[in-house]
Amino acid sequence: MQKKPVQPTGQLLQNSIQLFLCVLLSSVFLISPSPRATAKCYQANDEKKARSETKNAHALDDQEEPEDLKSIIDTAAQSVPASIDDNQIKLHMWDGSIVTGKISVASIKVMTQFGQMTIPIKQIVSFYPGLESFPAKQAQLKKLVEELGDGSYQIREEAHRTLVKIGLPLQKEISKFSDGGSVERKKHLVEIQKELEELAEDMDDIDELTALRAITRQDRIVTPNMTVVGKIQEDLFVISSKFGELKVQLEDIEHASRNIDVAREDLRKKLTLNSDNFLQRKPKSTGIRVHKGDRIRIHAGGVMQWTNWNSSSTPEGLTNQGRWNSIQSGTLIAQIGKAQNSVIKVGAKEDWVAKKSGVLYLAIAIQDNYVGNQAYRWTGEYNAKVIVTPAKK
């Protein structure tokens, strides 16, 4: 049964964030449009559709906090081969253009730590060039970090702004840099990481930018059965399109994908929640990015003790200790993204179809004036089992 969303009192305004991140996608690394990507003029109408269809092929361990920029399970990321042209491919460029056509090679060679592998194009779901394939970008990143400790205030601040602008996909790489003993560089690195973490959290609410990914150091080639990590040996790809033959450099490619049908399985997670996970404090991430039309089922149990009231509650909540937006305090709730523009009352059990896309969060409802009162004490925890059935394409 699908629940009607409960509308909260406030709603996060996302327009400025969307604008910022859209600019980010087209200007990452400050790259100018490549002459080799001339298909941009002809294929602009496909761009928006392609971005929304292309999903990360990341996997998540049992760690549950994407706030740390760990990978998130995406319900649209599980793929299998389909009957399309074996050499058909779509290249998503750093300058925002998209090149679609038939690739001239039948396979891609990848040098791994175990030796060279040859992967047929027809077996490739997607591939993601890593930072080692972008020497100019590595040099730029190193230079910007060094400038954080420059003697000029203006240079330090400009480097800080640039790293925040281009740094979301590179957060893990930025964290590896040493301050080199510079007090200024250390201060900026800490502040930049904090700003990037906040941007990553805000992205959970933006459906069209789910393809923005963390850049790894090595190249990744995703197949139906495994992900190969190493260095792609081809530096140049020749694509035959309806507009003619195009030559594309590897360093100009943000990622490549093949339009194949997907066979997606249920995603399952188990989580625990306590008083740290009141809605007004820190909702608990399930680590799953759901998409509109996915079916979500949650079963919950456990007990929380409400010490000041000498009572306890299950995920169904309390009947006599206040409400949050008509939901009883202590009730388990869910929301997609962090905008709080729609909250689902879960209780001990709920089953519904997602009306929007984003990361799925769980939280505990509580009356506003209780959550900030330091005199109140809550102990115990709820446990929840989450099952997400991806929508059929």
The pLDDT of residue 54 is above 50: no
Residue 170 domain flag: no
Residue 326 domain flag: yes
Confidence band, pLDDT 50/70/90 cuts, at residue 8: very low
Question: Are both 241 and 271 inside the same structural domain?
Answer: no
Q: Chain centroid to CA 216: how far?
A: 14
Q: What is the pLDDT of residue 20?
A: 44
Q: What is the pLDDT of residue 388?
A: 94
Share of the chain above pLDDT 90, in %: 36
Question: Are both 374 and 349 inside the same structural domain?
Answer: yes
Q: What is the pLDDT of residue 79?
A: 47
Question: Are both 383 and 291 inside the same structural domain?
Answer: yes
Confidence band, pLDDT 50/70/90 cuts, at residue 166: confident
Question: Are both 286 and 374 inside the same structural domain?
Answer: yes
Question: Are both 253 and 271 inside the same structural domain?
Answer: no
The pLDDT of residue 32 is above 80: no
Confidence band, pLDDT 50/70/90 cuts, at residue 207: very low
Query: Which one is predicted more confidently, 39 or 173?
Result: 173
Last residue of a domain, one of 201, 234, 257: 257
Residue 184 domain flag: no
pTM of the shown model: 0.52
The two three-digit tokens of residue 274, written as one number: 């306590």
Residue 141 domain flag: no
Confidence band, pLDDT 50/70/90 cuts, at residue 215: confident
The pLDDT of residue 48 is above 60: no
The pLDDT of residue 65 is above 60: no
For the chain, the domain total comes to 2
Confidence band, pLDDT 50/70/90 cuts, at residue 371: confident
Q: What is the pLDDT of residue 45?
A: 38
Question: Are both 272 and 359 inside the same structural domain?
Answer: yes
Confidence band, pLDDT 50/70/90 cuts, at residue 6: very low
Please state the φ and ψ torsions of residue 18, each to the nearest 5 degrees.
-60, -45
Q: What is the pLDDT of residue 76?
A: 62
The pLDDT of residue 15 is above 80: no
Among residues 313, 310, 253, which one has the least CA distance to residue 278?
A: 313
Last residue of a domain, one of 201, 236, 257: 257
Question: Are both 247 and 308 inside the same structural domain?
Answer: no
* Interval 289-337: pLDDT, tens: 888 899 999 999 999 998 777 889 999 998 888 888 889 999 999 999 8
Contacts of 277 (CB under 8 A, 6+ apart): 283, 284, 362, 363, 364
The two three-digit tokens of residue 223, written as one number: 């197949």
Average predicted confidence (pLDDT) for the chain: 77
The pLDDT of residue 240 is above 90: yes
Question: Are both 281 and 381 inside the same structural domain?
Answer: yes
Q: What is the pLDDT of residue 102?
A: 93
Q: What is the pLDDT of residue 383?
A: 96
Q: Chain centroid to CA 112: how far?
A: 26
Integer Cα distance of 141 and 334 in angstroms = 39
Question: Are both 382 and 241 inside the same structural domain?
Answer: no
* pLDDT mean over 22-36: 43
Q: What is the pLDDT of residue 203?
A: 62
Q: What is the pLDDT of residue 230?
A: 93
Q: What is the pLDDT of residue 325?
A: 87
The pLDDT of residue 29 is above 90: no
Question: Are both 253 and 113 inside the same structural domain?
Answer: yes
CA distances from 119 to 82, 94, 114, 300 (A): 17, 24, 14, 44
* pLDDT mean over 97-113: 92
Integer Cα distance of 66 and 79 in angstroms = 22
Q: What is the pLDDT of residue 268?
A: 92
Position 15: which residue type?
A: N
The domain that holds 322 is classified in CATH as 2.60.120.430
Share of the chain above pLDDT 70, in %: 73
Q: Per mean pLDDT, which range of 18-27, 95-104, 340-349 is the poorest?
A: 18-27
Q: Per mean pLDDT, which range of 158-162, 189-193, 260-264 is the poorest?
A: 260-264
* pLDDT mean over 269-295: 91
Among residues 313, 343, 312, which one has the least CA distance to residue 325?
A: 343
Residue 278 domain flag: yes
Residue 12 domain flag: no
Confidence band, pLDDT 50/70/90 cuts, at residue 351: very high
Q: Per mean pLDDT, which range of 63-72, 242-251, 380-389 is the poorest?
A: 63-72
Residue 181 domain flag: no
Question: Are both 124 and 239 inside the same structural domain?
Answer: yes
Q: Per mean pLDDT, which range of 190-204, 269-283, 351-365 is the poorest?
A: 190-204
Of the CA atoms within 13 Å of residue 86, those in its CB half-sphere come to 10
The pLDDT of residue 117 is above 90: yes
Question: If DSSP states are collapsed to H, E and C, what string results for the chain?
Answer: CCCCCECCCCCCCCHHHHHHHHHHHHHHHHCCCCHHHCCHHHHHHHHHHHHHHCCCCCCCCCCCCHHHCCCCEECCCCCCCCCCCCCEEEEEECCCCEEEEEECCCEEEEEECCEEEEEEHHHCCEEECCHHHCHHHHHHHHHHHHHCCCCCHHHHHHHHHHHHHHCHHHHHHHHCCCCCCCHHHHHHHHHHHHHHHHHHHHHCCCHHHCCCCCCCCCEEEECCCCEEEEEECCCEEEEEECCEEEEEEHHHEEEEECCCCCCCCCEEEEEEECHHHECCCCCEEEEEEECCCCEEEEEEEEEEEEHHHCEEECCECCCCCCEECCEECCEEEEEECCCCCCEEECCCEEEEECCCCEEEEEEECCCHHHHCCCCCCEEEEEEEEEEEECCCC
Residue 66 domain flag: yes
* Structural domain that includes position 369: 267-389
Integer Cα distance of 146 and 136 in angstroms = 15
Of the CA atoms within 13 Å of residue 304, those in its CB half-sphere come to 30
Question: Are both 277 and 252 inside the same structural domain?
Answer: no
